[in-house]
């Protein structure tokens, strides 16, 4: 059985750890509120912008000429895994890495793969492997702003136009609630046709377009794609804080359970020590009395 000093040191260590996890939970809760507000406000805007794009392009004879919708034989793929910069957030980063590896193995086997990591964890993971890694944008979470994310989106879009990549895929955590994040592997480029897009042709006739349909599409498509990219980053950012808050809450609970066991062990050890001392005193007294 451990002595009193060892048990006391373990108790102090667990108490310190519990204080840290409590503080991290509170910090994540504060950050989550701001991140959740951003993504909740972004979703309707992104959805409406996509609907407008579908309405404008559905009946357009030149819709098939949209450069970002060009379909090719997929030989070169750019994968964008979105992770966090830090750990201590449960399986948040691990799930993205696993989903990325699964896509490389199953969906893009034999293709030329390039990784555009967003987040330090993704960068560190894939930098150690044989893939070509773009290291210009992995620190985007130091300042999650549209301007910073737009630079990464423009890199992917320009690479697609130039023919450097035939397909661009986003892998990220979609925020559902504090305790639930859903892993998503979505095609970013070429633009995927939305379900029900053919049904919006009738609604298209309600639009009066100035200066021209082609001009509007040329302006609207890049903007819509950048918003979609930014939305994925915001989803991941909110998911990260939710995952970390949940992980730290669970860690705090586990520390509390461990403290109960350690304190029980401490009391038992102390009681055993006192009992041994009493027995030694009684034995000594009996020995003296016998003499």
Q: Is 171 helix (H, G, I), strand (E, B) or coil?
A: strand
- Give the span between the Cα atoms of 28 and 242, in whole angstroms: 7
Q: How many CB atoms lie within 10 A of CB 290?
A: 6
Q: CA–CA distance from 162 to each of 47, 68, 74, 154, 230 (Å)?
A: 28, 11, 14, 12, 22
Q: Which of 121, 254, 240, 231 is nearest to 178 (CA)?
A: 240
Q: In terms of C-beta density within 10 A (0-12 exposed, 13-18 middle, 19 or more buried), how is residue 177 classed?
A: exposed
Class of domain 21-192+207-247: alpha beta
Domain spans, the chain: 21-192+207-247
> For residue range 71-122, what is the model confidence (pLDDT) as tens digits?
889 999 999 999 999 999 999 999 999 999 999 999 998 899 999 999 999 9
> For residue range 232-277, what is the model confidence (pLDDT) as tens digits?
999 999 999 999 999 999 999 999 999 999 999 989 888 888 888 8
* Residue 200 scores a pLDDT above 60: no
- Give the span between the Cα atoms of 44 and 48, in whole angstroms: 6
- Give the span between the Cα atoms of 48 and 229, in whole angstroms: 15
Q: What average pLDDT does range 164-189 have in this prediction?
A: 94
Residue 160 has a pLDDT of 95
- Give the span between the Cα atoms of 216 and 71, in whole angstroms: 22
* Residue 63 scores a pLDDT above 80: no
* Mean pLDDT (the chain, rounded): 87
**Share of residues in the chain with pLDDT > 70 (%):** 89
Residues designated as active site = 89
Residue 202 has a pLDDT of 46
> For residue range 129-140, what is the model confidence (pLDDT) as tens digits?
888 999 999 999
* Residue 211 scores a pLDDT above 90: no
Residue 229 and residue 140 in contact, taking contact as beta carbons nearer than 8 Å: no
- Which band of pLDDT confidence, cut at 50, 70 and 90, is reported for residue 142? very high
**Share of residues in the chain with pLDDT > 90 (%):** 61
Model pTM score: 0.84
The residue ranking higher by pLDDT, 6 or 118, is: 118
Residue 139 has a pLDDT of 93
């Amino acid at each position: 059985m451990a002595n009193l000093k060892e048990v006391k040191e373990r108790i102090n260590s667990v108490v310190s750890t519990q204080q840290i996890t409590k503080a991290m939970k509170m910090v994540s809760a504060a950050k989550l509120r701001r991140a959740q507000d951003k993504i909740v406000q972004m979703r309707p805007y992104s959805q409406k912008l996509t609907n407008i794009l579908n309405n404008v392009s559905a009946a357009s004879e030149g819709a098939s000429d949209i450069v970002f919708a060009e379909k090719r034989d997929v030989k070169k793929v750019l994968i964008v895994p979105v992770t966090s910069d830090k750990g201590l957030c449960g399986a948040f980063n691990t799930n993205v890495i696993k989903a990325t590896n699964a896509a490389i193995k199953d969906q893009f086997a034999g293709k030329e793969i390039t990784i555009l990591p967003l987040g330090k964890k993704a960068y560190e993971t894939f930098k150690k492997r044989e893939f070509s890694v773009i290291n210009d944008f992995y620190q985007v979470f130091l300042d999650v702003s549209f301007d910073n994310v737009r630079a990464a989106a423009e890199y992917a879009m320009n690479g697609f136009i130039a023919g450097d990549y035939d397909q661009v895929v986003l892998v990220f955590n979609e925020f559902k609630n504090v305790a639930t994040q859903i892993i998503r592997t979505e095609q970013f480029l070429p633009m995927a046709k939305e379900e029900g897009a053919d049904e919006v042709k009738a609604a298209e006739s309600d639009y009066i377009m100035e200066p021209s349909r082609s001009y509007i599409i040329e302006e609207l498509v890049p903007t819509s794609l950048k918003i979609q990219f930014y939305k994925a980053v915001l989803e991941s950012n909110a998911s990260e804080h939710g995952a970390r808050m949940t992980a730290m809450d669970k860690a705090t609970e586990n520390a509390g359970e461990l403290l109960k066991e350690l304190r029980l062990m401490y009391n038992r050890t102390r009681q055993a020590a006192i009992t041994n001392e009493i027995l030694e005193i009684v034995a000594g007294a009996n020995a003296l009395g016998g003499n």
